């Protein structure tokens, strides 16, 4: 079995490459342009005879020698800080990059799995969010470069399936966390952990009542590999149904790290979703999948990784912050 993973040196992508090799794939080709990924994420795989790392931007096309059994398309900036910094690159990888990945899979007769996102639901009016919900997205807001890139990518994936017979699947990934997250990528878990370990104020946007559903990366990757092996088309939600408020998460991380830092409030970003919770009944019934790692166990493992890995800490901004606790 041979697999190609776009965005394979990113946070989730590196775990996917690792798990594919562990599950018996003879070769895993990791393609990444390192815009937000890092070769350090897959450095431990460099000595594996079946692992190949290619530095390349998929918007310029993708090629692979020999047969391919699966193409997992994970390439894209995925945190608000990253896609707001790189809006055009985000739109291009979702459009041109997805088309090139689909062409590759079609040519090789490979299973194509597209890593979409819960952001396709926008700031949802339906709660929890089932796959049948069409979403509530601002198409011209600052987050639209990511939301609409993923929505377009889902559309072209289904068009290839209908018109070209490509074996495709769409996975909508909800907030995932774990080792190898970048402390400065703007997502809440690495930000709060870095701040807690540095002994600086923990920053929560808005009043902290907005919620997310946090899934540990090992569970998420297990779900991805199950859909690779299944005939399921999707879209299918992969995430943890446990809904956590951001203020509750900050207190949780403060307790687990032993931090005494105060929690401070910053202005809520434009179009930031108020609630986020997946309905995973489809994944449970069709894939036999549900997250097994508790959020607390996942946080402890992530905190340990941040403790053991030298990396810059994310400091709390002094301006415009209001102490809440």
Q: Tens digits of per-residue pLDDT, 201-214?
A: 999 999 999 999 99
Give the mean pLDDT of the chain. Answer: 94
The count of structural domains within the chain is 2
Asked whether 128 and 279 are in contact (CB, 8 A), the reply is yes
Does residue 311 belong to any structural domain of this protein? yes
Does residue 197 belong to any structural domain of this protein? yes
Does residue 281 belong to any structural domain of this protein? no
CATH of the domain at 81: 3.40.50.720
Using CA atoms, how far apart are residues 95 and 53, in angstroms rounded to an integer?
23
Residue 319 pLDDT class (50, 70, 90 cuts): very low
Same domain, 117 and 189: no
Q: How many CB atoms lie within 10 A of CB 209?
A: 12
User: Is 177's pLDDT higher than 60?
Assistant: yes
Asked whether 105 and 167 are in contact (CB, 8 A), the reply is yes
Same domain, 161 and 304: no
The predicted structure's pLDDT at residue 320: 52
Same domain, 57 and 112: yes
Using CA atoms, how far apart are residues 5 and 70, in angstroms rounded to an integer?
8
Does residue 279 belong to any structural domain of this protein? no
- Tens of pLDDT along 295-313? 999 999 999 999 998 766 5
- Tens of pLDDT along 21-52? 999 999 999 999 999 999 999 999 999 999 99
Same domain, 204 and 222: no
Tokens of 137: 């997205």
- Tens of pLDDT along 125-167? 999 999 999 999 999 999 999 999 999 999 999 999 999 999 9
- Tens of pLDDT along 284-294? 999 999 999 99
Same domain, 88 and 14: yes
Same domain, 90 and 182: no
Same domain, 20 and 137: yes
Residue 321 pLDDT class (50, 70, 90 cuts): low
Domain around 109: 2-176+217-238
The predicted structure's pLDDT at residue 44: 96
Same domain, 110 and 182: no
Same domain, 22 and 171: yes
Does residue 201 belong to any structural domain of this protein? yes
- Name the residue among 29, 95, 97 with its Cα closest to residue 60: 97
Does residue 285 belong to any structural domain of this protein? no
CA 150 to chain centroid:
12
- Tens of pLDDT along 56-98? 999 999 999 899 999 999 999 999 899 999 999 999 999 999 9
The predicted structure's pLDDT at residue 272: 84
Does residue 97 belong to any structural domain of this protein? yes
The predicted structure's pLDDT at residue 184: 82
Does residue 208 belong to any structural domain of this protein? yes
The predicted structure's pLDDT at residue 196: 95
- Name the residue among 35, 50, 45, 58 with its Cα closest to residue 14: 45
- Tens of pLDDT along 211-266? 999 999 999 999 999 999 999 999 999 999 999 999 999 999 999 999 999 999 99
Same domain, 27 and 157: yes
Same domain, 200 and 230: no
Specify the higher pLDDT residue, 281 or 325.
281
Using CA atoms, how far apart are residues 190 and 268, in angstroms rounded to an integer?
18
User: Is 318's pLDDT higher than 50?
Assistant: no
Three-state SS sequence of the chain: CEEEEECCCCHHHHHHHHHHHHCCCCEEEEEECCCCCCHHHHHHHCCCCCEEEEECCHHHCCCCCCCCCEEEECCCCCCHHHHHHCHHHHHHHHHHHHHHHHHHHHHHCCEEEEEEEHHHHECCCCCCECCCCCCECCCCCCCHHHHHHHHHHHHHHHHHHHHHCCCEEEEEECCEECCCCCCCCCCHHHHHHHHHHHCCCEEEECCCCCEEECEEHHHHHHHHHHHHHCCCCCCEEECCCCEEEHHHHHHHHHHHHCCCCCEEEECCCCCCCCCCCECCHHHHHHHCCCCCCCHHHHHHHHHHHHHHCCCCCCCCCCCCCEECC
- Tens of pLDDT along 212-221? 999 999 999 9
CATH of the domain at 200: 3.90.25.10
Same domain, 246 and 170: no
Instruction: Say if residue 195 is preceded by a cis peptide, omega within 30 of 0.
Output: no
The predicted structure's pLDDT at residue 263: 95
Mean pLDDT of 9-19: 98
Residue 271 pLDDT class (50, 70, 90 cuts): confident
The pTM score is 0.94
Active site residues: 146
């Amino acid at each position: 079995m041979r697999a190609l993973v776009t965005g394979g040196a990113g946070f989730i992508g590196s775990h996917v490459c690792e798990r594919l090799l562990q599950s018996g794939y003879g070769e895993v080709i990791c393609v990444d342009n390192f815009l937000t990924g890092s070769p350090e994420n897959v450095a431990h795989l460099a000595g594996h005879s079946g692992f190949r790392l290619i530095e390349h931007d998929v918007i310029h096309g993708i090629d692979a020698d020999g047969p391919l059994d699966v193409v997992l398309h994970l390439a894209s900036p995925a945190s608000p800080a990253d896609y707001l910094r790189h809006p055009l690159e985000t739109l291009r990888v979702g459009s041109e990059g997805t088309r090139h990945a689909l062409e590759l899979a079609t040519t090789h007769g490979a299973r194509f799995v597209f890593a979409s996102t819960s952001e396709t639901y926008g700031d949802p009016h339906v709660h929890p969010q089932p796959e049948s919900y069409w979403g509530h997205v601002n198409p011209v807001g600052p987050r639209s470069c990511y939301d609409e890139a993923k929505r377009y990518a889902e559309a072209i994936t289904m068009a290839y399936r209908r018109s070209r017979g490509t074996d495709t699947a769409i996975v909508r990934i909800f907030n995932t966390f774990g080792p190898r997250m970048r402390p400065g990528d703007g997502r809440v878990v690495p930000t709060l952990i870095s701040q807690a370990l540095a002994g600086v104020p923990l920053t929560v946007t808005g009043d902290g009542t907005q919620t997310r559903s946090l899934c540990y990366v090992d569970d998420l990757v297990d779900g991805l590999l199950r859909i690779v092996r299944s005939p399921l088309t999707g879209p299918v939600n992969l995430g943890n149904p446990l809904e956590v408020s951001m203020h509750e998460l900050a207190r949780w991380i403060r307790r687990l790290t032993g931090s005494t830092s105060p929690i401070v409030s910053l202005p809520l970003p434009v179009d930031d979703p108020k609630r986020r919770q997946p309905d995973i009944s489809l994944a449970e019934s069709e894939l036999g999948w549900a997250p097994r790692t508790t959020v607390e166990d996942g946080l402890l493992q992530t905190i340990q990784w941040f403790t053991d890995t030298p990396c810059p800490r994310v400091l709390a901004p002094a301006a415009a912050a209001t102490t809440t606790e």
